[in-house]
Amino acid sequence: MLIGKPAEIPSSEITPKATYLNRRNFIAGAATAGAAALTGAAFRDFAEPTVTAQANPKIEGLRKSPFSTTETETPYKDVTNYNNFYEFSTDKYEPAEAAKNFKTRPWTVTIDGDVKKKQVLDVDAIMKMAPPEERIYRHRCVEGWSIVVPWIGFSLSELIKRADPLPKAKFVEFTTLYDPKQMPGQRVNVLKWPYVEGLRMDEAMHPLALLCFGMYGGVLPNQDGAPLRVVIPWKYGFKSAKSIVRIRFTGSQPLNTWQESAPNEYGFYSNVNPNVDHPRWSQAKERRLGEFIKRPTLMFNGYDQVASLYSGMDLKKNF
């Protein structure tokens, strides 16, 4: 999606490229595929992916998380070849190729703002702060598509506690890498760079908020946010900042990038909410990547554990 193009069709209503390429196979096998669609079975892409999905180095000592969903995981090749990563491209099929030579080492993260322990941490040291665990999370994008991914990391609260925020710190701000030489999408002013996101402190401390450095048993692929990102499963995908270089604690609500670019379309909270439509399309249903039939969108993406965080709030106003 590019802002400022009124004739643009929302991504939620566009047939995925992979499905389009496979349409002839679908027609040839209409009876079989039709039966699969009626039963809600996955309508998978058998077209060759843009970039061959390679297994990244494995992460040892993984433990399973009780927070995981039991839903079927989205295939690795789909998650690594269909990406919202505007730093590399606004086309969802291009980041895999554009990011293949992206350098994620050396990499440091600055921890500052309203904290007692300001510091600059090497990403590999961050990865060792707590035992890694695999969390199979639903992840929904504002355009209307969703995935189920086995992310690897640990609760963001582990890092926050080590930073020891001051009492006046009410929010956590994430700033991502600005490097136009490596990130060709940053050579275009589609957004204000660097990309900035934020969470209220109690959101960031919730055990579901994940500091993520891997998926599918290995380290994060470049196009999926390497080397360090957050995953906030009850919010739309753009809240899960990628390639983080700074975590700042503040008493004021951060102005996140999409809210700054289009405040009538993207709010600070951005909780998955089927009852609050995007101004240009409905959020009531979603299409799981690799499937043909849409499914109803769940409030908080199905993570009812977070509902108490917003008790008494008008979630149509605080969208």
Residue 4 placed within a domain: no
The CATH number of the domain holding residue 29 is 3.90.420.10
pLDDT exceeds cutoff 50 at 14: no
Residue 290 placed within a domain: yes
Residue 101 placed within a domain: yes
Residue 110 placed within a domain: yes
Residue 283 placed within a domain: yes
Instruction: Name the band, by pLDDT with cuts 50, 70 and 90, for residue 219.
Output: very high
- State which residues form the domain around 295: 11-310
Cβ–Cβ < 8 Å for 160, 151: no
pLDDT tens by residue, 122-139: 999 999 999 999 999 999
Percent with pLDDT over 70 in the chain: 83
pLDDT tens by residue, 261-307: 999 999 999 999 999 999 999 999 999 999 999 999 999 999 999 99
Instruction: Name the band, by pLDDT with cuts 50, 70 and 90, for residue 18.
Output: very low
CA distances to 90, 184, 192 from 189, rounded to whole Å, are 11, 11, 6
pLDDT score, position 56:
86
Residue 2 placed within a domain: no
pLDDT tens by residue, 263-276: 999 999 999 999 99
Q: Long-range contacts made by residues 89-96, C-beta under 8 angstroms, separation at least 24?
A: 89/184, 89/185, 90/1, 90/2, 90/185, 90/188, 90/190, 92/11, 93/17, 93/50, 94/50, 95/223, 96/49, 96/50, 96/51, 96/221, 96/223
Count of domains forming the chain: 1
Residue 316 placed within a domain: no
Residue 318 placed within a domain: no
The pTM is what?
0.86
Mapped onto helix, strand or coil, the DSSP state of residue 122 is strand
